[in-house]
Structure 1
Amino acid sequence: MKKNEFAVVLASDNRGVLPLSVTIFSLLNTAGPETFYKIYVLSDGIDGENRNSLERMASRFECRLEFIDVSGILEDHDFPHTEQWPVPAWGRVFIPELLKEEKGNILYLDIDVLVCRDLTELFGTDMSGKAVGVVFENFSKPGSHFNERLEMPLTCTGYFNSGVLLMNVDVFREKNLVTAVLDYAFSHRDRLTCPDQDALNGALCELTVPLHPRWNWHDGLTRRILKNDPRERFWRGVTPRQAVEAALEPGILHYQGVHKPWRYNWRYEGERYERAMREADLLHGPLPGRTLPAILKKHLYKPVYRMTRNKILKLQKQFEKEDGQCS
């Protein structure tokens, strides 16, 4: 029997089966010898053929894969769900109710993430009675885009990205937080721009635990390091030291934005994703979208990423030197 048994939840419909498959493969392929994952897929109509394909891939590893139908989950709730923000996007809100047998920490992942290492460290996070572990995008401050719009008090740490959520389902149940998030979504429906993420932030803002940015990192943040001043205390919710650590050794990469890595584009971390696709036997031949303009753009960005990496390595040496002086 494995020593570490963890529950991980993802959500998708038929349109997202390819990235869903890559995320599940990366999760299982990086698991340590003592790690066993129970994977729950919140399904909005994933058909039998795609389910069978996912089960065949998962059977290469020691794990449990289960599908939970959530296609009717919003029937009793008048929420804004669109093609961009479909039913599966809201599925994460209902996790504490859908997985009644699970206790403690459950990890929710968006399907556009790539797991880069075993997640035992992440699951061991001390939640200190709080509801959710998150990576923050911005700190609270007067006049911010979220504090006023979402009526989030300045006592809240900040605004977090909901693509990676370490959920303490015991606290959710004790405090009836599923209802709190749904009530918030309804009462603020005219203010929500990222509906599910905004609602989670607004309802849970004082019940969060900050996670190291390595658990929800993307190459846009890596590239931004080139512009950031290392003398600043924080870079959008993380310290320069944390940013360097996350860029060099990410735990979970999140491919945010419209340029997704299952299509050819200029993003640096797309190469890591492409390797995972090939290892999972999900890509034969070149990535789709490989056009001359896309190739030229990728080459134009290469010097930017080289300069970024040089700055990151320089900062790493600086931090190591400071640590040596303090010891």
Structure 2
Amino acid sequence: MRTDTASEKLHLVYATDRGYRFLAMVSAKSAICKASQPERLVVHLLDCGLTDEDWATFSDTLRKGAEAVEVRRHQVSTEQFGGFTAWKGSFAAYARLYVAELLPEERWCLYADCDTLFLDDPLKLLAECDPAVALKGYWIWYDKPCKPWVRDPVESWLAEHCPGMDFSQYLNSGFLLMNLDWWREHRLMERCLDFFRRFPKVPWPDEMALNAVCHGHVAGLPEGWGAFPDYAFSLPRARSIHYVCSVLNAPKFKRFWGYDDATAVWVNFVRSVLGVPVRQACGVPGWKWALGRAYNHLFRAAIATLRGLPGLRRWRRLDNVAALFARGENRRALSAGFWGAR
């Protein structure tokens, strides 16, 4: 781990089109709120179709109360992604493959998907920069037990097309510390594009391409960074949550826990920092959200009681459900003062 990072800046990169611009703004604002020295944070937006008004709203919101933060716009034409497979209706994720070209003077950057919320100081990740690796990120196998719908298509495809590639070395592409010098030296952008041409029907296009071309030169970030929402609170400290397929603007009421704590952390941030009401934040009426959270608290108490019974203490299913509830230090993320403390 590096210790000489006191004067370095962290280049935080997002790629978005109009459909995900609000999520990107929320994520970047959370990073600024938790940064111990916001002036050392540079936010780069890979703009895949925003209007000038969208950009003004984005940059003004990030700079409000943090004027020293640099916010830079890099316009990217999505026409060059013609023929690629869209991800949830968007081609913006492919822009991350061009980061080394768009930031020619930078050696490192942190790429985050728009549905990421920072719960800890992002500047800590500067100490994780390792010149010996191309990428550092979140091992998918951290998500224990790894969901079959995540594991099976990846493992079967890799076994057929990339023999020798180990799933235990597979990174989620939504939260990556990127060695841009390595990218340029090893022509990773061109190699990823070649990968798409060879395998146009790959299940998760850019993620599988990144893992394939960087295999053997990747490493994991410390647990807690980029954690999936259904695993984050099983850790001693969740440092950022990557919500992946969770629909933050329309969360579903779950029969066994109402609206979960991970979603509540995001909604609380949007309400307390951006001043956005519940309905606008997540599409749920305020009264329904309040009832769903009350239901969640009751269910939490029931699970705690069941886990205390001798005959049920070792029932793994209870442990999996209990991991959805913030406990210990993670509980602070639900408090009113969390976003004012660095």
Matched, 1:112 2:100: no
Tell me: CA distance 1:39–1:293, structure 2 relative to 1, closer, same or farther (3 Å).
closer
Tell me: CA distance 1:15–1:309, structure 2 relative to 1, closer, same or farther (3 Å).
closer
Q: Specify the alignment match of 2:308 in structure 1.
A: none
Tell me: CA distance 1:280–1:51, structure 2 relative to 1, closer, same or farther (3 Å).
farther
Tell me: CA distance 1:208–1:310, structure 2 relative to 1, closer, same or farther (3 Å).
closer
Q: Specify the alignment match of 2:170 in structure 1.
A: 159
1:196 to 206, 210, 222: 206
Q: Specify the alignment match of 2:101 in structure 1.
A: 97
Deviation for aligned residue 1:80: 2.1
Map 1:167-182; keep pairs closer than 5 Å. 167-182=178-193
Instruction: Write the distance in 1 (CA, Å) between the matches of 2:159 and 2:206.
Output: 18
Deviation for aligned residue 1:285: 4.7
- Percent of aligned pairs with the same amino acid: 18
Instruction: Write the distance in 2 (CA, Å) between the matches of 1:89 and 1:152.
Output: 26
Q: Specify the alignment match of 2:133 in structure 1.
A: 130
Range 146-155 or range 109-118, more displaced: 146-155
Q: Specify the alignment match of 1:268 in structure 2.
A: 261
Q: CA RMSD in A?
A: 3.2
Higher share of residues assigned helix: 2
Q: Specify the alignment match of 1:230 in structure 2.
A: none
Deviation for aligned residue 1:138: 2.8
Matched, 1:206 2:216: yes
Residue aligned with 2:101, SS: helix
Q: Specify the alignment match of 1:257 in structure 2.
A: 245
Report how many aligned residue pairs link the two structures: 287
Instruction: Write the distance in 2 (CA, Å) between the matches of 1:208 and 1:40.
Output: 23
Q: What TM-score results when the alignment is normalised by the length of structure 1?
A: 0.76
- Residue type of the partner of 1:81? A
| Contact residue 262 and residue 324 of structure 2 kept, 8 A | no
Tell me: CA distance 1:20–1:155, structure 2 relative to 1, closer, same or farther (3 Å).
closer
2:12 to 2, 8, 11: 8
| Contact residue 157 and residue 206 of structure 1 kept, 8 A | no
Deviation for aligned residue 1:202: 1.7
Deviation for aligned residue 1:297: 6.4
Map 1:1-327; keep pairs closer than 5 Å. 3-33=7-37, 36-60=40-64, 61=66, 62-72=68-78, 74=80, 78-81=83-86, 84=88, 86-103=90-107, 105-138=108-141, 144-154=155-165, 157-190=168-201, 192-222=202-232, 244-245=235-236, 249-260=237-248, 263=251, 265=253, 266-286=259-279, 287-290=282-285, 302=297, 303=299, 307=304, 308=322
Q: What TM-score results when the alignment is normalised by the length of structure 2?
A: 0.73
- Residue type of the partner of 1:284? P
